[in-house]
Structure 1
Amino acid sequence: MNARVPELPAHVEATIHSFLRSNARSEGVEGAVVGLSGGIDSALVARLASDALGRDRVLGVLLPDAAFSEALRKETEEYADALGIERRTVVITPIENAFRAALPDVSDRVTWGNTKARIRMTTLYALARERHRLVLGTGNRSEILLGYFTKHGDGGVDLLPIGELYKTQVRALAARLELPDPVRARAPSAGLWPDQTDEAELGLGYAGIDRILVALQQGESVGEIARETALPLENVRGIADRVERNLHKRVPAPMAKVGTDVSATGGHAGPSHGAPRARP
């Protein structure tokens, strides 16, 4: 098999634009809200949404904390202004500090990182509800397969415009659309603690990670992938283990079956196949 990331389809922009229009301009929905981190994923989603929906229907929200530099904040605000979308900045440090004060016995760094992601999600939904809009996720296929997101944090969204694109494809589309060089060059980071980067935490760059993910999706074994990609076996196994370990993030929560379900499926109905509506 060929463990190479597929070329970016020529129609990808048109397909995503159509997806966004059919969902975020449907009955009862008046646009979209997207969190802006200064990274390539959120910058790309904001650009695609602006092009598809119109700049007046997109709200970009910066959610800086104490580690968010003033230079990055200024750059991200200027990017939103260049797109012509409405922007808002909500400093989340006081909210995070309130949680820390209420839970003084919690010290784990990852726990607090996940709490920060959930604060961001709650803020985005509060703003989206007021405007009858949907929250756009910025997760890509690589992150989703890896489970490299916070459950009910950055994983809590209404739409995933770039959810089928591997990270390397995200970079290719950002280059095609000529997103600013600093955005494209910045090391990917969830910004959950100072100096965090995706690739340091995952142990590989996304070019290698994506080749592993493609091969896993094609049914190749860990050994076959290591031989084909010339990547260390331990790194390949680590990625494969992460994909399997985080399956729970990609499926609905298990439901106790007590024999009272009268639906035709006899189980969890799952999300509607129609367009999501702005929350009442």
Structure 2
Amino acid sequence: MQAQAVIEHIVNWLKDYAAQARAKGFVIGISGGIDSAVVSILAAKTGLPTLLLELPIRQQADQVSRAQLHMQQLQQRFANVSAARVDLTPTFNQFAADNEVDGNAFTNKALALANARSRLRMVTLYYYGQLHGLLVTGTGNKIEDFGVGFFTKYGDGGVDLSPIADLTKTQVYELAAALDVDVSIQKAVPTDGLWDEERTDEQQMGATYPELEWAMGVYPDHTAADFSGREQEVFQIYDRLHRAMQHKVNPIPVCVIPQALL
């Protein structure tokens, strides 16, 4: 990949989109992870106002420290970057308390609360975006957004534009190196940060990003029967996740009423 050429292309695309949308700039949620770090630098390089928001909800200490370090570094590197911290933990705790249900009766309670964290962050990003005339800028990559659906519908999937959604996770790491993202972020194990305990992306999905990128490359021209061993296992994981994610990326179904009934 021609990293510098890709960087220039994305930066120009961001500037053009903001101009067409008559937006002043961009607002990005900073997690301490590689994707938000890369996207925030790309946005900053446009020269347009770029607001970085750290939105912790019962966050792990290492995630908080990386997010804060990245925001400090970007403010030092770019005069157009501003940053703020909005601690959503009290808001989330109140939401969880107000909606307390019998955990034994609802097996999806933990996942519902994890997704609620992501949706609460989306609401906050759009609030600040509207206050300042900024576009909510997505941080999802290609394998997450179009491969396995590793995002929350109307959470981190609720954005105005997605500058790195055509890049695999591996390619995002290449851009991170070219953009001088802090080494601690480049080396951090990927996690979505939606759980009280640390859950890595690999633990949740059952495969590494390089493995899933391989499966995405051979899908749908093959079936699981074409492979054996770990490749077959990874292909089956990808196939299951890809099928399950379709409701996240397809248009909302509309019930069309026959003209004769109107």
Same fold (TM over 0.5): yes
Shift of 1:113: 0.5
Instruction: Map residues 255-270 of structure 1 onto 2, 5 A cutoff.
Output: 255-259=254-258
2:224 counterpart residue number: 222
Are positions 1:202 and 2:205 aligned together? yes
Deviating more after overlay: 14-23 vs 162-171: 14-23
Shift of 1:100: 0.9
In structure 1, the residue matched to 2:189 is 187
Corresponding residue of 2:241:
242
Identity of aligned residues (%): 31
2:89 maps to which residue?
A: 93
Q: How does the TM-score come out when normalised to structure 1?
A: 0.83
Superposed CA offset, 1:194-224 (max 9, x none): 201111111111111111111115x232333
Could you tell me how far apart the structure 1 residues matched to 2:2 and 2:49 are? 27
Contact kept, 8 Å, 2:211 with 2:234, in 1: the verdict is no
Unaligned runs of 5+ in 1: 1-6, 261-280
Which residue in 2 is equivalent to 1:14?
Answer: 8
What is the aligned partner in structure 1 of residue 28 from structure 2? Answer: 34
Deviations 1:210-266 (A, max 9, x none): 11111115x232333x35xx6342232011111011111011110110147xxxxxx
More divergent stretch after superposition (186-195 vs 61-70): 61-70
Call closer, same or farther: CA 1:205–1:95 in 2, change over 3 Å: same
Residue 61 of structure 1 corresponds to 53
Which runs of 5 or more residues in structure 2 are unaligned? 104-108
Task: Please state whether the residue corresponding to 1:34 is helix, strand or coil.
Answer: strand
CA distance in 2, matches of 1:110, 1:240: 21
Aligned length: 248
Q: What is the identity, as a one-letter code, of the residue corresponding to 1:164?
A: D
Deviation of 1:17 (Å): 1.2
Letter in 2 for 1:192: L
Distance 1:14 1:120 in 2: 29
Tell me, yes or no, if the aligned pair for 2:53 and 2:85 is still in contact at 8 Å.
yes
Give me the whole-angstrom Cα distance separating, in 2, the residues matched to 1:190 and 1:24. 27
Cα distance, 1:9 vs structure 2: 6.3
1:169 aligns to 2:161 (yes or no): no
Which amino acid is 2:174 matched to? Answer: A
Q: For 1:48 and 1:106, how far apart are their aligned partners in 2? A: 44
- Paired residue type of 1:44: V
Amino acid at match of 2:223: S
Q: Residue 180 of structure 1 aligns to which amino acid in structure 2?
A: D
2:106 — aligned with what? none
Task: Measure the CA separation in 2 of the matches of 1:178 and 1:72.
Answer: 14
Aligned partners of 1:31 and 1:57 also within 8 Å:
yes
1:116 aligns with 2:123: no
Aligned-residue offset at 1:180 = 1.1
- Superposed CA RMSD in Å reads 1.9
TM-score normalised by L of structure 2: 0.88
The AA in structure 1 aligned to 2:235 is: V
Instruction: Write out aligned runs for 1:150-165 (5 A).
Output: 150-165=152-167
Is the Cα–Cα contact under 8 Å of residues 53 and 86 in structure 2 kept in the other structure? yes
Letter in 2 for 1:71: S
